[in-house]
Structure 1
């Protein structure tokens, strides 16, 4: 394969994916509606075509114009998106759908491809854009990938867990960087042992390339960091990356309620463990970036950006009141 079409490509996972394929010698074309600035406008190796990925006619026009060897679909949020794309690009050497660890429908530790059941998805959920339907929609997109493979399309799925890294517009991880970088005491909900596996954005991008090159049609591949720190350990890792020290203070639900807070208000907190097995992806030669390198790049970009993540979690004034109540 020499050329790749990335549906999306200007923000976060898409942006890292463009860089990954360029670093490995591919000609890259981005397809989007042009609503976001193109960070690759000055790179002659990255083409850009405008089109609405939800419009079949637009996708067919893109196919005729680009004729890509591989397609990486970063912005398929509805099952119909995957159904149409796998049909339009049926002759490509590879179609890779960015799914999600949220597609799993039961709590298992770890969650494994082909073993852990996926979310069910009703017709209404398949067309409803909400946080509650995100997992079901992604799961149904996976099923569309499997159906396309049955039709002879080399279609595959990559399921990331929560993604962090440079240019993360969700600001979930920015919240914790901001807290650690600017304060010497940080509240951590529960006992600090909340376990929610994360994955560095560049590792998602490399997984997409590896699966496009070496994956098996009709298969899904989990992607997540090899080592899975608890939330409290993430605070310690960030303190090291920020070259600072911080006291992390574990706070119970009862203590949180004193100031009107709940554990779920803190980003990246999860009551039950979320861990994906990555053995299948690792069998293709993939591995994750060490946390020290991933966090150094993430913190550097955070500091250069205008993101704080403060709107993604408790207000600092409330956190200060909480910490003060513990000292009484």
Structure 2
């Protein structure tokens, strides 16, 4: 039975991942701050950690040796450096949740080589010292330059689902419904998404693969921001009120200045089958609009 540690696994796709790992028969331990109730009952072991405290992470790591560690809560060079020390000699593979945000905007589908963490300069610091983008770049750089164990970094785009606690898509639907202004700098920008269950399915599959290094993961296809708003308009029977320049409070979470979408050729070549974006996004928009 594989011994798997999930750092941060009680919200959104992390919760779905734990369920899939349990279904596969894994021995799962979930390490969190212990503040959010989870639905796993007696099926998992639990550790309480402070991800920003190196001693806390090391204590969790040393409870046993691990076949797989999933790290959903690594946001800085320091977080990654702490993990490299804590899990040295104690883990078979380390699977880091990373992000599309490591890439700059651009018209072509982004490939893993478009951001090379192996050569990116490491600047020690905590998550308070850096932006989200820079923190994730630093985390990848530390792991791929310093880790003594195999690492894969999954670069997800925005993850959507009924269970999205950030309610990004929910908010856009509410804004169209009530006629609130939405800031969209470039309606023609292409963006990628992934469904929360699909993200969990990919992470579960990754543990069984031999992939290492950065790997992109998103649904097949992309959509313009304008087309996404049109899906919402169709579902609600109302027109969106948009502007290219707005106050920050009105800016769409999907409002990017240029395209921001990914190629998943590496994962597909390794055998993973992604969902088609058109098979789930219109239905999700309709379902959330009905609620």
Q: Which consecutive residues of structure 1, in runs of 5 or more, have no partner in the other structure?
A: 305-328
Matched with 1:157 is 153
Distance 1:63 1:108, change over 3 A: same
Asked if 1:35 is matched to 2:31, the reply is no
Matched with 2:206 is 211
Deviation, structure 1 residue 287: 2.5
Deviation, structure 1 residue 154: 1.4
| 159, 177, 198: which one aligns with 2:173 | 177
Larger Rg: 1
CA distance in 2, matches of 1:121, 1:303: 48
Deviation, structure 1 residue 93: 1.7
Deviations 1:55-103 (A, max 9, x none): 3332233233353311000001111212221332233121111111111
Instruction: Name the SS of the counterpart of 2:112 in structure 1.
Output: coil
User: Matched residue pairs, number?
Assistant: 288
Deviation, structure 1 residue 283: 1.7
Matched with 1:197 is 192
Distance 1:294 1:15, change over 3 A: farther
Instruction: Name the SS of the counterpart of 2:154 in structure 1.
Output: strand
Distance 1:191 1:269, change over 3 A: closer
Asked if 1:11 is matched to 2:11, the reply is yes
| 264, 286, 290: which one aligns with 1:278 | 264
Higher alpha-carbon deviation: 28-37 or 281-290:
281-290
Distance 1:225 1:52, change over 3 A: same
CA distance in 1, matches of 2:232, 2:265: 27
Q: Normalization by structure 1: what TM-score?
A: 0.74
Q: Equivalent residues in 2 for 1:64-79 (5 A)?
A: 64-79=62-77
- Contact 1:195–1:274 under 8 Å retained in 2: yes
Deviation, structure 1 residue 294: 5.9
CA distance in 2, matches of 1:27, 1:302: 39
CA distance in 2, matches of 1:215, 1:165: 28
Deviation, structure 1 residue 268: 0.7
Deviations 1:204-250 (A, max 9, x none): 22222222221334x1001122121112322344567xxx4524457
Instruction: Name the SS of the counterpart of 1:93 in structure 2.
Output: strand
Deviations 1:134-169 (A, max 9, x none): 1111111111221245x3x11111111111113322
Instruction: Name the SS of the counterpart of 2:45 in structure 1.
Output: strand
Deviation, structure 1 residue 252: 4.9
Q: Normalization by structure 2: what TM-score?
A: 0.83
Alignment RMSD (CA, Å): 3.3
Deviation, structure 1 residue 11: 1.1
Structure 1 runs of 4+ with >3 Å offset: 105-108, 115-124, 182-192, 235-240, 247-253, 260-264, 290-304
Higher alpha-carbon deviation: 83-92 or 219-228:
83-92
CA distance in 2, matches of 1:299, 1:96: 34
- Contact 1:86–1:155 under 8 Å retained in 2: no
CA distance in 2, matches of 1:188, 1:248: 14
Distance 1:227 1:129, change over 3 A: same
Distance 1:89 1:59, change over 3 A: same
CA distance in 1, matches of 2:142, 2:210: 17
Deviation, structure 1 residue 4: 1.3
CA distance in 1, matches of 2:104, 2:77: 16
CA distance in 2, matches of 1:52, 1:94: 22
- Contact 1:199–1:225 under 8 Å retained in 2: yes
Instruction: Name the SS of the counterpart of 1:65 in structure 2.
Output: coil
Asked if 1:82 is matched to 2:80, the reply is yes
CA distance in 1, matches of 2:57, 2:180: 51
- Contact 1:13–1:204 under 8 Å retained in 2: yes
